[in-house]
Chains A and B, each alone.
Chain A
Amino acid sequence: MKKPLQITVNGEIRQFFAEPYCSLLDALRDELLLTGTKKGCDEGDCGACTVLLNGQAVTSCLVLAHSAHDSQVTTVEGLADHQKLHPVQQAFVDHGGLQCGFCTPGLIMSAVGLLQENPNPTEEEVRFAIGGNLCRCTGYNKVVEAILAAAQAMQNKLKA
C-alpha cells in the first residue's frame, strides 16, 4: 500500500505517496513526473539515475524512496536558473559533451557533486569522479573537457 512521504526536491517540499518498495528513481519519475533522471540499468551500474541526495551524488535506483523521507534531493531539472543553464550544463553544450544524451543528466549530476566538493579538480580527479557513469557515445573525452571548462567558468565567476 502506498504510504505518505515528504522530500524536498529542487528546493520545493513535495508531499506524495509511494509504495514501500518504490525506489527514489521511480518516485522521481513516476510520482513527481521528473523524467530528466534516467533509468539505464536499475542495478547501480550505469549512473544514468544519479541525483544529489543531501548534497551527495548517489544512484537513485539504489535508494528506497521512503528512506529519503525528509531529505533534500537535487535532480537535473533543478540546476538551471529559469532560462539560464547551470555552468556545467552550458559547458556540456559548448564542448559537445553529449550525443544521444541519455547518460547526460547523470553525468551532469556527478559533475555538479564533484565541483561542490572540489571546485578545482585535475583531469584525473574528474575521470575518477565519473567512473560510475557509463556513456556509450562520446568516448568521455569531451565530457571531461566540458567538466574542466565548467570548473574554470565557475572559478572565474567567483573571482569576478
Chain B
Amino acid sequence: MPRFEYLEPHTLRQAVSMLQQHGSHARIVAGSTDFLVRWRTGVWKPQYVVNLQHVPGLDRLSYSPRNGLRLGALVRVRALETSPVVRQRYPALAAAAASFAGVQVRNLATVGGNVCNASPAGDTLPSLLAFDAQCRIVGPQGERWLPLEQFFLGPGRTALQPAEILAELRLPPPLPNTGSLYIKHSPRGAMDISYVGVASVVSLQDRGRVCRDAKIALGAVAPTPIRAASAEAMLRGQTITPELLKRVAAEAQRLARPIDDVRATGAYRKDIVAVLTQRTLERAIEMARGAEMPFEVQRRLAVQAAF
C-alpha cells in the first residue's frame, strides 16, 4: 500500500492552502469511509491526506423557517437520520439516511463526502436534489454558490475545481402542505448499494387536490443522480388522480438511462424506476394531505430489498 502523510487543518482557509500546496498529490478526507476502502484497494494513492474532521463548525446542522436547512459538509449521515427537524420537514432526506449502510458507517459517513464522492447511487443525493440543495464551495478564490444539480458531472466527477472544498449545503424551507419520501431498492435490507433510488417531494394546494409543486430525483439510473424535470412538469398545477401518477411514473422511467451491471440489468432498473416513482409520489401526497407517517413506517418503506 502506498503511504501518505496526514495533515490536520483547523480552518477551511488552512485546508485550501494545504490543497494548493500539494496539488493533485493531496486528497481531502471527511468520514474516510469511501477513502480508506479505495486507498486499501489501491484506487486512490494520495501522498497527503487533508482531514477536515477537526475544522470547527463544519458539522453544524441548523434550521430556520426563513432560510431552511443548513448542513455543514461534515454533518454525519446518522445526524440526518435522527435529527427531529430533518424528520419533520425533509422526511425524504431522513429516510435516505436510514436506508444508508449500517449504523456504524452512518456514524462516520458525512453528507459532504456522499456528495463529493458523486456516486450515481449515493443515497442522500436524490433527496438533496429534490429539495433543491445549493452548495457553498470554498476555494483559493474565496467562496461561490452552485446548485447541486450542476455539481455532478459524471461518476465520481464533480464541478469542484482544484483546491476547492464543499463547505455547506442549504435546502430552502419546504412549502406548506409538503410531503416527501425516498425509496431505495437494493439486494439486501441493510449494507447494500441501491439498484435504484427515487426521491419525491410534493406540495399541494386547494385542500390537497391540486399539485402546487413536485420534485422527483432518480439515483443509480444515469451517470449522475438526476432530476426528472419533464415528469415533474406533468404534475405542477394539475389535479391529482391515480392515472396522472401512472403517467408521471412512466415519464420518469423514460428518462432513466441505466446500465447493466452485476446488481441488475438496465431494463429491470427502468421498470423499477416507474414503480418507485409512483410509490414515493403516493406516499408524499398522503403526507402532504396530513396523514401521520411515523418515522418507523417511513424507514420500513425506505428500503425495498430483493432478498
- Chain A residues engaging chain B, CB cutoff 8 angstroms: 3, 19-21, 23, 42-45, 47, 50, 53, 56-59, 61-64, 66-67, 110, 113-114, 124, 128-133
- The chain A residue sitting closest to B8, CB to CB, is A66
User: Would B40 and A62 count as touching, CB distance under 8 A?
Assistant: no
Docked Cα-Cα span, A71 to B66, in Å, equals: 36
- Chain B residues engaging chain A, CB cutoff 8 angstroms: 1, 3-6, 8, 29, 31-33, 36-37, 39-40, 49, 51, 53-54, 78, 101-105, 107-108, 189-191, 296, 299
Docked Cα-Cα span, A26 to B5, in Å, equals: 17
Residues of B within 8 A of A130 (CB): 102
Residues of A within 8 A of B103 (CB): 57, 110, 113-114, 128-129, 131-132
Among B32, B39, B191, B296, the residue within 8 A (CB) of A63 is: B32
Docked Cα-Cα span, A88 to B278, in Å, equals: 43
Q: What 3 A-B pairs are tightest by C-beta distance, nearest first?
A: A132-B102, A131-B190, A20-B6
Residues of B within 8 A of A59 (CB): 104-105, 108
Distance (Å) between the CB of B76 and the closest chain A CB?
9
Could you show 8 A-B contacts with beta carbons less than 8 Å apart? A19-B3, A58-B104, A61-B36, A67-B32, A67-B51, A67-B53, A128-B299, A132-B190
Residues of B within 8 A of A128 (CB): 103, 190, 299
Among B31, B51, B107, B191, the residue within 8 A (CB) of A45 is: B191
Residues of B within 8 A of A47 (CB): 102, 104
Docked Cα-Cα span, A64 to B191, in Å, equals: 21
Distance (Å) between the CB of B65 and the closest chain A CB?
28
Residues of A within 8 A of B54 (CB): 67
With contacts A56-B78, A59-B105, A131-B190 known, what are 8 further pairs, Cβ within 8 A? A20-B6, A20-B49, A21-B6, A50-B104, A59-B104, A62-B36, A66-B8, A132-B103
User: Would B3 and A44 count as touching, CB distance under 8 A?
Assistant: no
Question: Is chain A's binding surface mostly helix, strand, loop or mixed?
Answer: mixed
Distance (Å) between the CB of A27 and the closest chain B CB?
13
Residues of A within 8 A of B105 (CB): 44, 59, 62, 132
- The chain B residue sitting closest to A22, CB to CB, is B6
Distance (Å) between the CB of A54 and the closest chain B CB?
9
Docked Cα-Cα span, A124 to B299, in Å, equals: 11
User: Would A62 and B33 count as touching, CB distance under 8 A?
Assistant: yes
- The chain A residue sitting closest to B1, CB to CB, is A21
Residues of A within 8 A of B108 (CB): 58-59, 62-63
User: Would A20 and B101 count as touching, CB distance under 8 A?
Assistant: no
Residues of A within 8 A of B189 (CB): 131
User: Would A23 and B107 count as touching, CB distance under 8 A?
Assistant: no
Docked Cα-Cα span, A136 to B39, in Å, equals: 27
Tell whether A66 pairs with B104 under 8 Å between CB atoms, given A44-B33, A131-B190: no
Docked Cα-Cα span, A81 to B255, in Å, equals: 59
User: Would A57 and B104 count as touching, CB distance under 8 A?
Assistant: yes
Interface centre among B8, B33, B53 (most CB of A within 10 A): B33
Distance (Å) between the CB of B190 and the closest chain A CB?
3
Docked Cα-Cα span, A21 to B49, in Å, equals: 9
- The chain B residue sitting closest to A125, CB to CB, is B296
User: Would B296 and A20 count as touching, CB distance under 8 A?
Assistant: no
Residues of B within 8 A of A131 (CB): 102-103, 189-191
User: Would A124 and B296 count as touching, CB distance under 8 A?
Assistant: yes
Distance (Å) between the CB of B45 and the closest chain A CB?
11
Distance (Å) between the CB of A121 and the closest chain B CB?
11
Residues of A within 8 A of B53 (CB): 67
Distance (Å) between the CB of B291 and the closest chain A CB?
21
User: Would A20 and B107 count as touching, CB distance under 8 A?
Assistant: no
Distance (Å) between the CB of B281 and the closest chain A CB?
26
Distance (Å) between the CB of A70 and the closest chain B CB?
9
Residues of A within 8 A of B78 (CB): 56
Residues of B within 8 A of A67 (CB): 32, 51, 53-54
Distance (Å) between the CB of A143 and the closest chain B CB?
14
Distance (Å) between the CB of A17 and the closest chain B CB?
13
Among B40, B51, B296, the residue within 8 A (CB) of A64 is: B51
Residues of A within 8 A of B6 (CB): 3, 20-21, 64, 66
